[in-house]
Structure 1
Amino acid sequence: MKSLKILSINLIALMVISSCIETEKSLKVDVVETSRSGNKLSKVDVFSEGKPTSKINLNPDKTFQTFTGFGGSFTESSAYLLNRLSKENRQKIIDAYFAESGARYSLTRTHMNSSDFSLGQYSYAPVEGDTLLTSFSIKEDKDDIIPMIKEAMEASKEGFKIISSPWTAPPWMKDNNEWVGGKLKPEHYDTWALFFSKYVDAYEAEGIDIWGFTVENEPHGNSNNWESMHYTPEEMTDFVSNHLGPQLEKDGKGDKIILGYDQNREGIKEWVDVMYKNEKNAKYYDGTAIHWYESTFEVFPEALQYAHEKAPQKYLIQTEACVDSEVPKWKDDDWYWSKEATDWGWDWAPEDQKHLHPKYVPVYRYARDIIGCMNNWVDGWVDWNMVLDRQGGPNWFKNWCVAPVIVDPDQDEVYFTPLYYTMAHFSKYIRPGAKRIDFESTDKDLQVSAATNPDGSHIVIVFNPSEEEKVFELSMKEAEQVVSISPQAIQTIVLKPKK
């Protein structure tokens, strides 16, 4: 009897030890999902009982770039629409983007002077010949953009960075004396550099810190449609090296970030070759800005890798993206998950480029591009307008586009499209200072990226564009957890640090 009692005790002890080992080998994960079937950042507690058909293995010991942030843009159009909503709906949108309960945007952009997403064309320096900019004023922003930024600042617990971009200098500084096209006259390089410095001062007087600039939105132009100003790589580098950088430095603003280029990725190579050609050229450039409009599906990984390798210690930030050339679909979630959208290139891209602009799924375009950018050294990703109306404006040029949040100000209604939830899967969970980490995924259908936050939490983004549920084993350092993802869905998986 005594030996049986001892055997029983030993068996119980082994069961307890086995249970402890099993617990230690299980990853503790929090999962949220957005899917075509109706999940919207919904928490997932129960996973499929099916057998895993693939594996995602995380290697947090191998790291890559540090993330600057994710977010969207303060435009006059968005801010004007917020002014037309009820106080409750205005706050609802601000909180949805910036509060702890919302998407927690950490990197944003705005325009200096007007853009196509303004109500009309304007400049902060309208007086011709005012080379000392004594008439400089940001009064155009005081009714809309500035109040929107201030309310976002109040809602944001951790704060956010602002990148400012000019679409054009005032016409009197340009060789064609027009809002559209033309180049900055060499005799006004110093005045235009001073313009940036005065802008920082004016916003600082409003209690708003400008983190940095892109030198020019789309320096190749936009087919002469709306505000633009053209530079070659050499011209922009001359302006930055000999005028803008020294002016900011002289005025005690040398900490302001300067990003060159700021257009589509396919053309990035010739720009970074000039920007980072030598120490003199590179001195005042803090990084490179890019857009996504070259294609609805191609991330251009080789171009991104090339830009990174040219300047591995500098920023590489996606500063603008949107579902362009579309009037938003109102309260029709399924459209955003359907292959119905077209972009500008669908109609008039050159024949040799039309294949880059097929019909596409809007959610897919966002998810795969952000993941592709993350996996190819991009450290920040900024969406375009935060809010547009049912027409896809207001836009003085009638250049209609889609935003993650669509409003009907006449009825005081707000529609959070699936694009809002897609953005939040990244911005809410991958925080500034996070580092991308290495991983291996055995399912080629799943698109994956991963990062480790400053607080030690590991974040895994999984996008499943297929029409079938996927069951996979998530593993890290010999611990594992079986996870399932719905068809046509995006997930954020949070692995919390051990206390």
Structure 2
Amino acid sequence: MSCNSNQLDVEVYETSASGNKLTKLTEFKSSENVSEITLNPDKTFQKITGFGGSFTESTAYLLNRLSKTNRNSIIQAYFGEEGARYSLTRTHIASCDFSLNNYTYAPIEDDLTLENFSIDKDRDDLIPLIKDAMSISKNGFNIIASPWTAPPWMKDNKAYVGGKLLPEYYDAFALYFNKYLDAYKSEGIGIWGLTPVNEPHGNGNNWESMHFSPEEETDFVQNHLGPKLEAEGKGNIHILGYDQNRAGLKEWVDVMFKDEASSKYYAGTAIHWYESTYDYFPDDLQYAHNKAPNKYLIETEGCVDDEIPKWKDDAWYWKKEATDWGWVWAPEDQKYLHPKYAPVYRYARDIIGCLNNWVDGWIDWNMVLDKQGGPNWFKNWCVAPVIVDPDNDEVYFTPLYYTMTHFSKYIRPGAKVIDVSNNDEELMVTAAQNPDGTIAVVLLNQGMKIKHFSLTLGEKKTSISINPQAIQTITLNNL
């Protein structure tokens, strides 16, 4: 939207329940009732690491069942310049619930030197997908890799599900990570970061898992994994501790960042969102940041889970009646954290809340699932931003895809979150200034009424409106 000298030079993109899908808007209705949003780029917060989704075996397998045209169109939509431009991703080390079955890279019991280590299981689907995404991405992306469990023979229960890593195998498990990094590097895939295990509290002993206390994980990182990677010339690998829900953050960061020795090999903290369907736990995020202000704080997993996705039904993703996940499993004293929610709102609300509370990266879970919400060997069905029907070679880009793109496409790695004043409690707003100087502002209007607002930067101002039930990204250019 070109403006006169007193107006900001902005472009406005909107996704709405009424049908906009990253639609560029150029005309806005005027109103006497105008909210005020003011940007203050002189006050900055965290530097952005990136946004994106996860490479899982399920996603890779489904893409390989589609026609080459549809497979490529989805990869382009996530990683191409005209698409979401994903910049931060995650993958699993050996199997997880979104694998076709259980597997480990080190199946031979008591092979302490891991002579039989092999990533061959990943060669059919997972590795080709990652490499194809790399070839499409102009600016590249970072990958965080997480195991759901150590090889079962290293654990006290000798099983994929549950149990603890036995202390006598701490060095062998550290070697397992080193072998993984080397194997993927030999495929031309560099790994940016690791977490010691996905969800150390476990997952109710349902699928691959391994329990760590904060003290146990910190011992493993401080005395085994960190020194091993350093000795192998991999000191640049970012080890992120914890990797579970935010309500446990305080206990974990107190142990992880207790002193210089405990902190040395931790690059930061990884978090998930499953503690609540609406609360993003700002106090816990602030606490984690203040405990380790120079460390990363990255959301590594979130999705609409315990749910079969709705096929080609955009309206469902905007309705609070869509999901009431917590009522399936939450204890009585925690049900209040899990009210019914609209999937789009849960995503946008959480990402904006995270950005406004020191989180520097946000990674979605599966990029692609089928109409059942799988495949998933445990039948733990979930929703993904892109749903496919491989039998009929059909693809459905849900509103969640556009929601993610509102952030990933316009807020780039190296951007700095900036101060925003907003006098309308019914609008959620965040903003960041990119390395090229442009500013991206993201708004969420969860209400049923159009909202009019003025956007001010210094001496310049422009009037904009956001539709009911809508997400909007405003880019400010020529600053």
Counterpart-to-counterpart distance in 1, 2:59 and 2:189: 18
Q: 2:335, 2:205 → 1: CA distance?
A: 21
Query: C-alpha distance in 1, partners of 2:196/2:353?
Result: 25
Distance 2:352 2:242 in 1: 22
Contact 1:342–1:357 (CA under 8 A) maintained in structure 2 = no
Deviation at 1:478, TM superposition (A): 1.3
Give the Cα–Cα distance (whole angstroms) in 2 for the partners of residues 446 and 378 of structure 1. 20
SS of structure 2 residue aligned to 1:240:
helix
Report the 3-state secondary structure (helix = DSSP H, G, I; strand = E; otherwise coil) of the residue aligned with 1:402: coil
Instruction: Tell me which residue corresponds to 2:80.
Output: 99
1:341, CA displacement in angstroms?
Answer: 2.8
Which residue does the alignment assign to 1:385? 366
Unaligned runs of at least 5 residues, structure 2: none
Partner residue of 1:153? 134
Shift of 1:345: 2.0
Q: Is the contact between residue 388 and residue 402 of structure 1 (CA under 8 Å) also seen in structure 2?
A: yes
| Among 413, 423, 427, the residue aligned to 1:442 | 423
Give matches, 1:181-220, under 5 Å: 181-220=162-201
What letter is aligned with 2:188?
G
Runs (5+) with no aligned partner, structure 1: 1-21
Quote the residue 1:328 is aligned against: 309
Aligned length: 477
Equivalent in the alignment of 1:128: 109
Which residue does 1:417 correspond to in 2? Answer: 398
Quote the Cα distance in structure 2 between the aligned partners of 1:327 and 1:301.
29
Partner of 1:353: 334
Contact 2:325/2:340 (<8 A) preserved: no
Equivalent position amino acid for 2:248 in 1: G
Return the alpha-carbon distance in structure 1 between the equivalents of residues 329 and 313 of structure 2: 27
Q: Which residue is equivalent to 1:114?
A: 95
CA distance in 2, matches of 1:51, 1:425: 28
Match of 1:11 in 2: none
What displacement does 1:104 show?
0.2
Aligned partner of residue 286 in structure 2, secondary structure = helix
What secondary structure does 2:373 align onto? coil
Residues 47 and 407 of structure 1, relative CA distance in 2, 3 Å threshold: same
1:378 alignment partner AA: V
Superposed CA deviations along residues 470-496 of structure 1, whole A, max 9, x for unmatched, are 000000001000000000000000001
TM-superposed deviation, 1:344: 4.0
Which amino acid counterpart does residue 302 of structure 1 have in structure 2? D
Q: How many angstroms apart in 2 are the aligned matches of 1:225 and 1:34?
A: 36
Post-superposition offset of 1:343:
5.0
Percent of aligned pairs with the same amino acid: 70
CA distance in 1 between counterparts of 2:52 and 2:80 reads 13
Q: Partners in 2 of 1:442 and 1:206 — Cα distance?
A: 51
- For 1:341 and 1:391, locate their aligned partners in 2 and report how far apart those are by CA, in whole Å: 16
Is this contact kept in 2: 1:323–1:343, CA < 8 A?
Answer: no
CA-based RMSD: 0.8
Residue 318, structure 1, aligned to residue 299, structure 2: yes
Instruction: Confirm or deny that 1:50 pairs with 2:31.
Output: yes
Name the CA distance, whole Å, in 2 between partners of 1:175 and 1:113. 19
Matches of 1:102 and 1:51, distance apart in 2: 37
- After TM superposition, what 4+ stretches of structure 1 lie above 4 angstroms from structure 2? none
Q: SS state of the match for residue 320, structure 2?
A: coil
CA deviation vs aligned residue, 1:78-108 (integer Å, no higher than 9, x gap): 0000010000000000000000000000000
1:433 aligns with 414
Distance 1:36 1:428, change over 3 A: same
Are positions 1:267 and 2:248 aligned together?
yes
Give 1:4's aligned residue: none
1:266 alignment partner AA: A
- From 73, 86, 94, give the equivalent of 2:54: 73
Q: Which residue of 2 aligns with 1:370?
A: 351
Aligned position for 1:452? 433
Q: Decide whether the 8 Å contact of 2:9 with 2:478 is kept in 1.
A: no
Contact 1:326 1:343 in 2 (8 A): no
SS state at 1:182 partner: coil
1-side partners of 2:409 and 2:303: how far apart? 19
Deviation digits for residues 430-483 of structure 1 (CA, Å, limit 9, x no counterpart): 000000000100111000000000000011001100000000000000100000
Q: TM-score, normalised by structure 2?
A: 0.99
TM-score by length of 1: 0.95
Please report how far the alpha carbon of residue 342 of structure 1 lies from its aligned counterpart in structure 2 after TM superposition: 2.6
